[in-house]
Each structure stands twice: as structure tokens, then as C-alpha cells.
A and B are shown apart, each in its own frame.
Chain A
Amino acid sequence: MSGVPISYYLILSAVLFTIGVIGVLIKRNPIVIFMCVELMLNAANLTFIALGRHFGQINGQMYVIFALAVAAAEVAVGLGIIIAIFRTKETIDIDEVNLLKL
């Protein structure tokens, strides 16, 4: 669409990113923390796309594709880790998981 200045998109993605940061720092359930990380990734992707569109280059979208792929892989492995931790300790409260040795 036309008529929306790029800075609005940037502001929006900054806000979303900040919300994601707050979530990472506040929540205690690692899965929810993970979800907030995904939110942060998405905000970054939005920035990429917006700036790519602003400068008329394809690079922004390329970065996003790969970021997307990596995010997916990361989620898979991360959830695997969480499952593994949950099997050893019955809780996944992140404050309880404060020892290097489980």
C-alpha cells in the first residue's frame, strides 16, 4: 500500500520487539519465553521486509527467508531440549533450572 511512511513500520516492529524482550525477561515458563523469542524474531523480520521494500531491494526478503528457516530449526531443537529437561526435573520453572548439572 502506499501512504504509510516506513517509519511507522519501524516503530511498530520496535514496539513488538520490546514487548518480546519484556516477555523473555518476565516469564518463568521456558516455552512461553521461547514464544517471546519468536515474537522478537518476527519483529526483526518485519523490519527487514519494510526496509527492503523502502530501498526497493530483494535482500530484505532473502534474509527473512533464511531467518524463518533458522527459527524453525531452532524451535525444534529447543523444544527437544525442554522436553529433555522436563524428563529429568519435574518442573520447567526456569528459576529451578539454575544448576549447570541437572
Chain B
Amino acid sequence: MLLNPANYWRKNKNWNNFVGKLGEVVFVTRVEVTSPELQSFLPYCFAIVEMDGERYEFMGEKGIELKKGDKVEFVFRKVSDSNNSSLINYGIKLVLKK
């Protein structure tokens, strides 16, 4: 099983703490080699972001380039590939605030 249902269920409690909120990029790197279940998102940015004085770490939406200081919005996206039978892994990613 690609994604454990109990782990998914514990994680989804957190989603609405982020959806629609804004943050700022503290440091970011562009990932070009990654785990098997994230292959289709390559290359993606991975950043430390700050929101309300707290820091978090998230992937950027596929294809976007982020840099230090960018204002970002937390959005709801698929966070890994899935196959035809597994649960779909949703979570939080970053997009540039427009």
C-alpha cells in the first residue's frame, strides 16, 4: 500500500491550518533527484517558509521557481504520485502569491 490510511487521516487534520494562508521563503533549493513516488513532480522547489513567526518546510508546486524572500501562498495539491488503487496523497504546497 503506497499510503497508509491511518497516517493520511492523522495528517489531514492539519490541511486547513494552511490552505489560503501566506508565508515568506526563508531558504529554498531546487530538487532534481528524489524518491520514486515524487518523480513526476521533478524538478520542484523545497523551501523553509515562515508564517506568523513559525517556520515550516514544504514543496513548491511543480515547475515554479522560488527564491529567498518570495511571498508564497499555501495551497492544496497532490503531494505524491499514486497508482490506480492507492489513496491519493494530498497535502500542502507553495505557490507564488499573485
* Mutual binders A and B: no
Q: Write the residues of chain A forming the contact surface with B, with a CB cutoff of 8 angstroms.
A: none
Q: Write the residues of chain B forming the contact surface with A, with a CB cutoff of 8 angstroms.
A: none
